[in-house]
Amino acid sequence: MTMPHDIQADSLIRIEEQSGVAIWRTICPDHLSGTYVLARTPIVCEQVVGEQEVTISASSVRNLQLTVRRVPFDDMPSMIGLGLFVPVECKFRGAVTQSLPGLSVAAQASARLRIAVMSAFLDPERLMTNFRTSDNFGLLVREAYTKAQHLRAETREPNGKFHDLPVNESISRPIIYQWLKCLITYGFRASSLHPRFDERGGSGTGGRIYGHGTGRRKPGRRSEANRLGKASFAQTGQSEEEQVRIIALARSQIGIGGSYRKAYDSVLATQYSHRIRGPNGEVALTLRPAGQYPSFDQFRYLVKTRISSLDRFARRTTMPHFTRNHRGLHGCSRDGVLGPGHVYAIDSTVADAYLRSGFDRTLLVGRPVVYWVVDVWSTAIVGFYVCLAAPSWDRAKCALFCTIADRDLLSRLFGFTFPNVLHPAPTLMARLLCDRGEYLSEGASRTAQEVGYSVEYNPSYRPDLRGTGERFHRIAKDAQFGFVPGAFDARRKELDLRPDKSTATLTLYEYYAYLAYLAAEYNVTADREHLFTAELAASCVDMTPAGLWAWGHEVGLGYRKAIGQDELVRSFLRQAPLKQLENGIHFERMRYLPADGDAELACRARCFGRFDVPGYALPAVAGHVFADLPDTNSVTLLEHAPLQVVGEYDSFFDYADAEAQRLVNKVTGRHAIDQSRVNYREKMREIVDSASEKTQSVGGEKSRLSVRDARQQEMAPQSATTVSDECAAQTTVEEEPQGRIGALIGKMVGSP
């Protein structure tokens, strides 16, 4: 568009006035009023002298006051002739001189948005039309603001983001006026709207470290040494290629055990050093001169702006740990579960408590293994099991047995009233959620197929996917810490503050009873307000695990599958080889009797010999076993006979302690027995040797008396006469027929 008197539109004019000299930009002519429309720019007159490039600070553009004036066509020739109006040329530097493809991806997205919004200002005809009826840019600004709102609404994607547009670009009227100031300063063309990331120093823009070439002074605030005039060198910026290399090295260095300082040292050693071989052949690394490599602050700022904080955090740990403990959550374990009883989660842990032996309380038996079974929908504890053996499918089956079995049967087995706070009582589940430990076995698969439930396995090293079961481990451990003697918190860093394990007092049986009431307390007191819904509010449900369990079954959401006691015992208890003897059924070294006192099997064993009986045992209970007796189709519960190795309510683990102690005593007591046998043998040998010597001393002559006479003589009473007086001895025998031995025999039988 050509203006009168050969003055081009969108050109710069130096105008000298009484208030001073300023640079104005011609916008458009208004032929209707016969005037030129000009707008004042923030360009300083001294900057347009010569061929040097002009740098306009962002603050100058931001603080520009929009001033529009009109100059009549008729006054222009005289002003030009007097030198009051002088056309000038100005060369700018930076992004305003670059083409759109030459910008970065973020800058291109922002530039496209600005050009689309400010399209009315880039049309000369629209500018002329605006100034025919107005002396300001108000109508065009209002049009641009309306267009910006429609543009962002049209480009919004279903996920809430904006296609090919910077999301953080907030478009308001002040922003549009800011872009208008850029057009007035740099010219009414599309490149004037390019974002000046190269001149900014804000967060994420990189203005403090980005350079446009080797040797350029570092942009941004000067250092203290430079401001005081004490700096001996000038710190340069880094080119785009240098920044890419630095970021690539930093990503590999800032990891587990890494730090900014270590990564910075690695970058200097690999990118900004060269090897020099000395006169003696040694090789040394030499840095570039000071200021020609990035400072530590530059490096750290570059890493923080180019590598996201989430990426840096993830690199400081392993990906499985980050996924487990720090990933964003988009669901919960109850999602997809229809109601109570559908899904049980089972898991085991080593309890943070020490126990004592039920056989000998002076013995510490260590920390038990606890299995917890949790209903995923209601978060209720439906069963548990405690043992002293390593986790295995045999122990996990016992936990499922204690979950499904009738509470009266459990009370009879364990010897205490088993708390029953879940109504109705738990039955067999539809699905079992577990990890890939002992549950990924042939026995576990066979049991699931025979009984009729499905098994869902979590991926390896992902306990977070069964958080309902994992969380209760911590709940139980926190509840017993400070309450149960011998309990401790394994998470405490102060080892000196951990309780002494010698303070432990509970046995396995007592700890089992404690956990039973702990689970009951949790089921009726745990707060589940975060699961509150409108349906629950209408039913006035008690927001506890027990309340949710009862409500779910009451409204028909629950899953129940009854299983008989015989099938339950045969499927979930460990097989025990029982043996029928004459006095009862034996297992290990203990004797059991039928509850009804039937002695038919004992009679059969006595008549035809002992025989084997299929049986089943719960390792935590030694007082009862189950037996598949002959000629019956059901499982019979056998009771503990009196005076056995362990008590009725002890466990088979206590029996193992007793057997171990018996073997120890047998070994240690063998020496004393052998010593006693040797001593008594020596005494008997002395008697025999003494008798032999006395017999040999009389010459071993043949007796003059018969055996009968010799016995009568031996039994005769002693007299004061000598034995050689045969007549006297015979008289004595006739008068006193009993003698010494006879008197002794008479005394024993009570004769006078």
Beta bridge partners of 156: 162
Does residue 93 contact residue 52 with C-beta atoms inside 8 Å?
no
Does residue 294 contact residue 209 with C-beta atoms inside 8 Å?
yes
Query: Chain centroid to CA 617: how far?
Result: 35
Supply the pLDDT for residue 420: 87
**Residue linked to tokens 């025919």:** 132
What is d(CA 429, CA 445) in angstroms, rounded to the nearest whole number? 15
Phi, psi for 53 (deg, rounded to 5): -80, 145
What is d(CA 182, CA 62) in angstroms, rounded to the nearest whole number? 9
Beta-carbon contacts of 276 under 8 Å, excluding residues fewer than 6 positions away, are: 283, 284, 285, 286
> What residue spans of 579-720 are helical by DSSP H?
600-608, 652-697, 707-715
Beta-carbon contacts of 304 under 8 Å, excluding residues fewer than 6 positions away, are: 312
Does residue 306 contact residue 247 with C-beta atoms inside 8 Å?
yes
Supply the pLDDT for residue 156: 53
What is d(CA 141, CA 137) in angstroms, rounded to the nearest whole number? 6
| Structure tokens that stand for 407 in this block | 């509470």
Supply the pLDDT for residue 656: 78
What is d(CA 193, CA 110) in angstroms, rounded to the nearest whole number? 9
Does residue 24 contact residue 37 with C-beta atoms inside 8 Å?
no
Supply the pLDDT for residue 170: 65
Does residue 357 contact residue 655 with C-beta atoms inside 8 Å?
no
Supply the pLDDT for residue 161: 46
Does residue 620 contact residue 368 with C-beta atoms inside 8 Å?
no
Supply the pLDDT for residue 549: 93
> Which amino acid is it at 656?
A
Does residue 503 contact residue 485 with C-beta atoms inside 8 Å?
yes
Does residue 169 contact residue 110 with C-beta atoms inside 8 Å?
yes
Phi, psi for 393 (deg, rounded to 5): -65, -30
Supply the pLDDT for residue 492: 58
Supply the pLDDT for residue 385: 92
Query: Chain centroid to CA 282: how far?
Result: 51
What is d(CA 298, CA 304) in angstroms, rounded to the nearest whole number? 10
Q: Please report, for residues 376, 385, 553, 751, the alpha-carbon distance to residue 426 in angstroms, rounded to integers and kept in the order given.
A: 13, 15, 11, 79
> Would you give the DSSP letter of residue 164?
T
> What residue spans of 55-169 are helical by DSSP H?
58-62, 76-82, 105-117, 124-133, 138-154
Q: How many CB atoms lie within 10 A of CB 220?
A: 17
Supply the pLDDT for residue 89: 83
Cis ω for the linkage preceding 426 (within 30 of 0): no
> Would you give the DSSP letter of residue 25?
E
Find the largest Cα–Cα distance for the chain. Answer: 192
Sites in the chain below the pLDDT cut of 50: 1-2, 157-165, 167-168, 201-217, 720-724, 726-738, 744, 747-749, 751-752
Euclidean distance between the first and the last CA atom of the chain, given in angstroms as a whole number? 163
Supply the pLDDT for residue 206: 43
What is d(CA 574, CA 447) in angstroms, rounded to the nearest whole number? 12
What is d(CA 339, CA 422) in angstroms, rounded to the nearest whole number? 15
**Residue linked to tokens 């011609």:** 26
> Would you give the DSSP letter of residue 45?
G
How confident is the model over 537-556, as pLDDT tens digits? Answer: 788 888 899 999 999 999 99
What is d(CA 612, CA 581) in angstroms, rounded to the nearest whole number? 9
CA-based nearest residue to 121, from 176, 40, 50:
176
pTM for the whole thing? 0.56
Q: What is the 3-state secondary structure (H, E, C) of 457-502?
A: ECCCCCHHHHHHHHHHHHHHHHHHCCCCCCECCCCCCCHHHCCCHH
What is the CB-side half-sphere exposure of residue 527 using CA atoms within 13 A?
2
Phi, psi for 197 (deg, rounded to 5): -60, -25
What is d(CA 604, CA 610) in angstroms, rounded to the nearest whole number? 8
| Structure tokens that stand for 187 in this block | 């010219």
What is d(CA 650, CA 395) in angstroms, rounded to the nearest whole number? 17
| Structure tokens that stand for 84 in this block | 């009051």
DSSP 345-367: EEEEEE-SB-EE-SS-TTSEEEP
In degrees, rounded to 5, the angle at the alpha carbon of residue 252 between the alpha carbons of residues 251 and 254 is 65
Supply the pLDDT for residue 3: 52
